[in-house]
Amino acid sequence: MHPTGDQKAPSTGETRVNGTGEARPYGSMRAAVHTSTYERPTAQMVEALQGVSAATACAKLHQMGITRTFIDGPVPLHREPDVKITGGAVTLQFLPQREDVFNGAEQEDIERKTPLWGVLESIEPGDVLVVSAHGSHFTGCLGDMLVRYFKLRGGAGIVVDGRVRDAARIRALGVPVWCTGVTPHYASQTELFPSAFNVPVGVGGSLVTPGDLIVADEDGAVVVPQHKAVPLAEDSLLHQDREAFARRRLDEGGRLSDYYPLTGDGLTEYLASRPAAT
């Protein structure tokens, strides 16, 4: 386990209320800026899910009674056929701007004093950054420089419930990113501002808490609670092996009703085909 208790909240900056000249500190939003007590998943948990697809993870969690695990909206920015990540979630929360708290003037300089910089400086190897941006079409949550730093810290991938910018440069970096699209805007240029990191967030209709596991591939991103990771993996790998058998039989001319779902005589055939336990 890797506790993050040594992380400090970023220092606060100031912004100006439009038209008044009155300075207001970003720190007036003094709700929880970050959580210092969460635990990252173990290497065993991450390794167990390496071979599990997002679709299988989602289906098996549904059978376990956890039904809202699909992060709706983000799709791979990279269209390589084998794009996939598995890792522990660190989170970043954006909130709507309000002129008396945080507004568009001087934003880009102020960002370095917010949780946007704080979360990136907390990244450890294998982390998956999950960003709650309310599906905004106008907020470029991350761009080339920030994703570059994320990669240098050893991050595994990024899931954004919103947009990114500098798409070509991000693709060239090779960091797997799931997002809802692209925009030329920087993070706080329009309607949102970074408000907290490593706190529970709502992303694409799903709850993600720091330390949850993320499985993401071409079918999208799924959140897996830590305590479900190992049993989910064991059940999922057996499920995927059964589907691989059924797929082979269908390719060989078998009837769909005999091999999918795999029950009855088809299941008996599958069990007989497995290597005997030693």
Identify any residues that bridge with 24 across adjacent strands, giving them in sequence order. Answer: 15
Q: How far apart are CA 218 and CA 181, in angstroms?
A: 15
**DSSP class per residue in 238-276:** HHHHHHHHHHHHHHTT--HHHHSS--HHHHHHHHHHSPP
| pLDDT attached to residue 15 | 35
pLDDT at 276: 64
Residue 12 has what pLDDT? 38
Is the distance from CB of 213 to CB of 89 less than 8 angstroms? yes
CA distance 68 to 72: 10
162 in helix, strand or coil? strand
What was the pLDDT predicted at 101? 74
- Strands 157-164 and 128-140 come out as parallel
- Domain 14-227 in CATH 3.30.930.10? The answer is no
The pLDDT, as a whole number, for residue 188 is: 84
Q: Are 84 and 217 in contact (CB under 8 A)?
A: yes
Four-CA torsion 147, 151, 152, 154, nearest 10 degrees: 140
As given in the structure block, the two tokens for residue 52 are 């599990």
Alpha carbons 219 and 229: distance in angstroms, whole number: 19
pLDDT in tens, the chain (278 residues): 444 434 433 333 333 333 344 434 444 444 446 666 789 999 999 999 999 999 999 999 999 999 999 999 999 998 787 899 999 999 999 999 887 776 655 555 566 668 899 999 999 999 999 999 999 999 999 999 999 999 999 999 999 999 999 999 999 999 999 999 999 999 888 899 899 999 999 999 999 999 999 999 999 999 999 999 999 998 878 888 888 999 999 999 999 988 888 888 888 888 888 876 44
**CATH 3.50.30.40 domain extents, the chain:** 14-227
pLDDT of 5 reads 38
